Structures are given as C-alpha cells and as structure tokens.
A and B are shown apart, each in its own frame.
Chain A
Amino acid sequence: MPLLELREITKAFPGVLANDRVSMKLDKGEIVALLGENGAGKSTLMNVVYGLLTADDGEILVDEKHVKIKSPRHAIDLGIGMVHQHFMLVEPLTVTENIVLGREPGRFGVIDFATARQRVREISDRYSLKVDPDAKIIDLSVGMQQRVEILKALYQGARVLILDEPTAVLTPQEVTELFRVVRSLVDEGLSAVFITHKLEEVIAIADRILVMRDGAVVGETTPSATDEIGLARMMVGRDVVLSVEKGVSQCGDVVLSVNDVHIEDDRSLEAVKGVSFAICGGEILAIAGVDGNGQRELVESIVGLRRPTRGTIELKGNDITRANARASIEAGVSHIPEDRQRRGLVLEFNIAENIILGDHREPPAADHGIMHPKAIAELARKRIADYDIRTPSERVLADSLSGGNQQKVVVAREIGRNPELLVAAQPTRGLDVGAIEFVHTQIIRERDSGKAVLLVTFELEEVLSLADRILVIYEGRIVKEFAVADADAETLGYFMTGGGGSKLAEEQESKPVESSVAGGDK
C-alpha cells in the first residue's frame, strides 16, 4: 500500500513545463531517489507535494485517499515533512524555538518552553540525532543545522521526509552521517524522497531511483540494476563523458608569473605567505587546497581585486601587481569567480547585460560612452548560441536561469573575451554532470588554443582530470608540486590537509622553488 502516490502531476510556469504528467509512488519504509539535472523539475514536484505550489493538473493520494494539498500546514498535517535545500531555520533563534515554531506547546498563547525542550530531547534521543536544544542555529555547523531541520519535520509528525538536495552543502563526513541518519529513520518506519543530481549518492542511498529530465520521468531503476554511467545517460539523454579527454599540454611562453607574493585577508592577517609560480601558454595549472588556505586571496590579487603586500605579479612580462579589476581585464585576465551569483553575475540584469559586463566600455558594446543595444543583443545571441545557454531570449534576467545556465553565461563572457589567462575558481561548484562536462570542455579548449589557465578548486576529481600540473596550497604556502601523472587523490588529500607538515612549508620558505614551467610539459 503506497503511503504517497502522485498521478500525472502537471505544472507549468510561464514559458516552461516544469512537470509534465509525472507519476510516482512511495511505500512505507522506502527511500526513493529523484534524480535529474538542475531544472529537470524535481524541486517543483516536491514543492507541489509540500503545498508550496499548486499543480495545474493531476492527483495526489496520501494513504490511498485523494487530497488537495493547499499549504505547507496541510502537508504537515498529512505527515509530509520537507528538508529544504536552503534551510528554513531562523538563525538567531534556538534549536528548540525553531523546532516547535508553528506548533508550540503551551496555554493561552504562552509557550511552555520546558515541555518544548523535553519533546525535542525525546525525539532526538529516539532517533539518536544528538543536538543541544538551547544552542542558537547561527552557532551550529551546516550539518547540525540540517539535523535540526530533520528534527523539525519529525516533531511535526512527518511520516514522509522529502530531502531537497540535502548533500549540496555538506562535507563528505557529514554526507556519510546524513546517510546513516536517513537509513535509521527508514528502519523506524518512515519513508524518504531524496532529491539530488549526484550519481554516486543515489546508488549509495536509494531503494528505487526515478530519473527526471525536462519535467518528465524518463526512467525508473534500482541501484543494483544500473551504474553511474547508465544513470548519467538517462539523466542527460545522451552519453556523458564522466572523465575528460585531453591531449598532451603544449607549453609555450610564460604567461603568468607570480613572484614571492604575500597577501593579507580581510582581517589583515597574512593569508598568502610568499607564493611563487608561473604558468605557460597551453597549460592548466591547478591550485588544490582545502577552502580557506589562502587560495581566495591569491585569486583576488591576480584578477585585480586585492593588492599583495609584497611580491610581484606579471602577465606576459607586464607588471599587473597593482592593477585594478579593469586594468586586469584590459591586460588579458579573465576570471570565473567562485560565487557566480554574488560575483559572477548581476542577477537583476538580463543575460545580454551580464555578457558585456567588463567589456561594456569597448566596441562593439559601446563607444564614447554611448551603449549600442543592437550590437549588444547581437553579441549576446551569438554567445548564447556558441555556449549553449538554454534561454528563450537574451533579455531574460540572470536570476531566472538555472545554476548551470548561469555558469554558462559567466563562462561565455570570460572566455568569449579571448583572454591571455583564464582564472577559474570552483568553476563547477553545484553544477550537474551535463554542465560540468561543458565547463571542463571549454577550459580544455582554452588551453589547447595556447592560453594559460589557473584552476583553483578543492574538488580532487576536477584537479586530477583537468590539470597539467598541480600545486598544493596549505596555510598560505605552496607545500607540494606535482605533475598530474604523479598525483593521485590520496596523496593530494594528504598534502592538502597539512600532511606535508609545516616542516615542508618552512623549507619552501627558506628556499623558494624556482617555479619550473618545464614541469608542465611531460
């Protein structure tokens, strides 16, 4: 007997059919994974189930009874709980306050906090989800915050738990812990819908897998009946190259040379403590490191957003140490920033406007301070075609694009400018396989056309598949250099987490490595 059943759910937004006659069933004690690329309609479907959106057509059955879910309150009353991708937690409030919000125990409007705390403890003991009921949300780690979200759903009496991209914000350890928690909840008789675009996760957690593409269910399978390649094919609708193919690097002249730079972070602490390296044309140099080891400051100083306190940065022999962002662009540096929504795009601008940002003073976009809308639109349409940006028109706001398409806009602008050096920071963060493949292909194409690429990422897979040469950064120093052939995930991970030790770092300091451009070609 299915606990939850959806029949032919259809939901249209202006210009898009987000859900096209989608049907699914969820049994008691089952984990169903809803797999699909960003924009495939997974979240829309679950928002319909949770009462945040109303379906245009179709039926929802809970316990085999027809229901019209009008509001989240109604969904909660039916036993449906949702852990949203962006947490619905009020940061300055306590764990208890957040969990009981909307269903506070007490009389005459006065909250009985002792009872509230007691109930939170009971639930957290019963499902062994330990959390301090009096801690403020803002003081908790992301993993703990998610745990509070799950507790909130349980407190509200959820029998079905919808988890929307729950691993997007978690560290690998937290992901493992989450899987354990979800498993134990299902063992207790709950059911879960797990929304994701990550292939390895569905294989690890799901009992059944529903694959969605362009608003429709395109396949149903089980982890034992498929593998990542098969799932990727279903999800994207064609064969996907999960590993990138690339030829041998043809190293040309030195494009970027960084000499003993020291950079301070926003708190005026030294974040980069004397780093030197060079990149030649036709080479991808990856800087691998755990977040917060100085790579952000390093990137910002190369692209003209931050000034080093010491050292020099040269692009093709020109000193760009003190260049601002504009001078940096004009010198031939392009930058794919790590946060596309805050730094890569102006979300309130349309695609055409975003595509000319940084080049908006120059022909063809403008001359003598006058913009040329026609030429801009034409350029934008060309980029949209060249970079396969999925949009009805160049006048669509960046805000309304999916993450993958937003990143394509950034990539189109930065690569379309034809730079000497491309600095790419976390270029595939949060993207699905199709979009990742696209970005990787573009980066390799840049390299093959003789440009220099600086890739900064903490995704080891990405480092190993894209880079020609790898520098490991730890606590503001380069602690290790690898040719990609000599590196593997384990060794990289070892050095990234300080395995090389400060001893190695000190050696580095006393004897700055003559940055061997030659290390690039092999």
Chain B
Amino acid sequence: MLGDIITPDLFASAFRMATPLALAAIGGTICERSGVVNIALEGIMLVGAFAGVAVTLAFGSPWLGVVAAVLAGVAIAAIHAFTSINLRSDQVVSGTAINILALGLTGFLMEIMYGHPGTTEAIITIKPVFRFATERGSGTFFGVIWNWFNTIVLSHTPIVYGAIIIAVVAQWAMYNTRWGLHLRALGEHPRAVDTVGVSVVRGRWIAVLMSGALAGLAGANLTLEQVGSFTENMTNGRGFIALAANIFGRWTPVGSYSASLLFGFFDALQIKLQIFRGEINIPPQFFLMMPYVLTVVVLAGVVGRAVGPAAVGKPYKKG
C-alpha cells in the first residue's frame, strides 16, 4: 500500500499544491520586508482567482485571464497600500477589511454576472508546458527514473515553473540589487532609509503592489491552471497558510518557497490518503486538518523562534 501512496504523482502534486502558497508567501515576504503586514493575501488571491476566470469566460483566453488576475491583485493591494502607508491605519485591520471585502465582492459579482452563487462554468485551463510520453520502457531502470522525472519535473503548467523562477530571482534581487537593499532596510529602520534620501512611501508602495501582483498570480494558478472554475471562497485559508510559510521561510523568497513546498506536500499527501481511507481506517477530516495543524505548529515557534523585520506593522511618519 505504501507503494500506492508514495508515487511520482504525489510529489508532482506537492509542487502544484505549493505554487499558490509560494507565490502568495513570496508576496508576503516582500511586503513584510518593507515594513507592511499583509494579511490581505487571502482576499487578494480570491479576487485574482475570480478575475482570471471572469476574463477567460469573457474573452476565451486563459492568458488574458492571468494578466487580469495580476492586475486585479495589484488594484486590491493598492487599497491596502493607501490605507496603511498614506493613511497610516492599522495594517491588520486594513488587511482584514480587504479579506471581507474580497469575499463579498466576488460573491456579489457572481450573482450579477452569472446570476447564481456557488461555482462558475468551467473554463479552458492552461496546459502543461511539456508533453512527453508518460511510459517509456518502464521495465528498465532508466525507464523508471525517466517516469519519475517526467511526472515530478516535466508535467507542470507555466505558473508552477514561474513560481520557482520568481523565488530564485527574488532571492537574488533581495541580496544583490539596490531595490533589495532598500527593501531590507525599510522594514528594519525606515528612518535610516529616509535620512539617506530614499523615499519610504515609494519603497513601501512598490513592495505592497508587488505582493498584490504575486497573490493575484497565485489566484490565477488556482483557477486557470488547477481547478478550471471559480467557487466562492475557494482560496480557503491559503493566504493565511502563505503567511505562515513566509515566517517558516524566515522572510526570504527561497525560504518561503521551500516552506510552501512542505505545506504542499502535506496537502498532496492528505488527498492521497483520503483515497486509501477505507484501508487505513482514519477519518478523512484528520488528513484535511494536517496542513492547518502544521501551520499552527510553525506559528507557535516550534521550529525555532523566527524574528521578523523590526519595524513591520508600524506606520512611518516623517519628521
């Protein structure tokens, strides 16, 4: 039975499950490094997911849907940026408001655009990048290796690869570019950044908008590459798990991706185990619970105390 559970498909599924988490988590990393808490990732992801489906249904192109999802994410993030940077309101309150707004807005738009709540019509999903034969001489050793490699590495859709590339590029940029240095300084000591003549407001706006774009892209991955339709509240807490992944990954892009992969693996395992639940005699809710339990364990600091940017969550006032 173990051989039925530990299959190449399980690991491939882990990468797929990790992708929306990772994109949102990297967004959270960038945002928090700049000193702004973004618990609105959940809502932004949901709006991105909806916008992607709506535009795909209207124009028939999922790629246009991806663009729409990113732009929608940026637009919602702009609300968060304005309230928390310019108005200096409490960032957790602002984020919570956006999450509630996103839930209501997508439900409302479903009603007026499609005339019913629940789930939209199915759309044409984005296909995997590569398509190689799944079985290639499975009897031989190299055949087995090839099948594993093909399934785990080569079976994915563009955004799944995109997330890995984004993680690596963001990591490099954070430690090698002017943008990255300013970002790391912003969340620790914004006044120090201000006194050398770099704009805190501008730096934080850019970071918040980037997190919006990434969370929107996460939503696009969810609907346009995985599910193929939009369902109300379909993000189902992924934005919050992404925040946990960001902490687990110690506020670094690659760390966030790796942590998301772990969460993704548990999610994939959970699905797999449900199939075999008759044989192992454990209620399915137990498996459903696993990613969330892991989140709580991470946030409780069991994996070692993680210290975030010193000035995160604190509005900056000049002078």
A residues within 8 Å of B by Cβ? 50, 52-53, 71-74, 76, 82, 84, 87-93, 97-98, 101-104, 106, 109-111, 113, 152, 156
Contacts and interface: CB of A to CB of B under 8 A. Distances in A.
Given A88-B189, A88-B191, A91-B189, A156 B196 contact: yes
14 contacts: A73-B196, A76-B197, A88-B191, A89-B192, A90-B185, A90-B193, A92-B188, A93-B181, A93-B188, A101-B193, A102-B182, A111-B178, A111-B181, A152-B196
Interface in B215-230: none
A101 B177 contact: no
Given A73-B196, A90-B189, A104 B178 contact: yes
B319 A52 contact: yes
A419 B184 CA distance: 50
A72 B179 contact: no
Contact of B177 (A74, A88, A111): A111
B310 interface: yes
Contact of A82 (B179, B181, B184, B195): B195
B140 interface: no
Contacts of B181: 93, 97, 101, 104, 111
A72 B189 contact: no
A73 B197 CA distance: 4
B91 to A, nearest CB: 19
Interface of B: 176-179, 181-182, 184-185, 188-189, 191-198, 310, 319
Contacts of A98: 192
Interface of A is mostly: loop
Contacts of B179: 109
A111 B176 contact: yes
A101 B319 contact: no
Contact of B197 (A72, A109, A110): A72
Contacts of B194: 72
A101 B310 contact: no
Contacts of A113: 176
Nearest to B192: A88
Q: Chain B CB within 10 Å — which of A73, A82, A102 has the most?
A: A102
B176 A101 contact: no
A89 B189 contact: yes
A104 B193 CA distance: 13
A50 B193 CA distance: 14
A103 B196 contact: yes
Contacts of A88: 189, 191-192, 195-196
A102 B197 contact: yes
Contact of B196 (A52, A72, A109): A72
A110 B177 contact: yes
A93 B192 CA distance: 12
A142 to B, nearest CB: 16
**A-B residue pairs, 10 tightest by C-beta:** A73-B197, A102-B196, A88-B192, A90-B185, A72-B195, A90-B188, A90-B189, A88-B195, A109-B178, A109-B177
A110 B176 contact: yes
A101 to B, nearest CB: 5
B181 to A, nearest CB: 6
Q: Chain A CB within 10 Å — which of B177, B181, B182 has the most?
A: B181
